[in-house]
Amino acid sequence: MTGPKYPLLETIDTPDDLRRLSPTKLPELAQELREFLIHSVSTRGGHFAAGLGTVELTIALHYVFNT
């Protein structure tokens, strides 16, 4: 059984890759990242509430600042 696919997330390896996305794609990326976190925790266990709460913040920081 394979997990869900993440077409946008799979294109991101560095902050520069993130900044190449149009701003209209960022909400879609955030959704994929949340789904990835939920899938990872559901198959491996762990705690993820803090990670879910910072998805948009983390994307915004890397998108706006030269990280």
Segment 14-34, tens digit of pLDDT: 999 999 999 999 999 999 999
- Alpha-carbon torsion (20, 26, 28, 30), positive or negative: positive
Q: Which pLDDT value is given to residue 41?
A: 87
> Within 10 Å of residue 12's Cβ, how many Cβ atoms?
19
Record the pTM: 0.85
Percent residues over pLDDT 90 in the chain? 64
Over the range 27-50, which residues count as b (16 or more CB within 10 Å of their CB) and which as e? eebbebbeebbeeeeeeeeeeeee
The CA radius of gyration of the chain, in Å to the nearest whole number, is: 12
- Alpha-carbon torsion (45, 12, 16, 18), positive or negative: negative
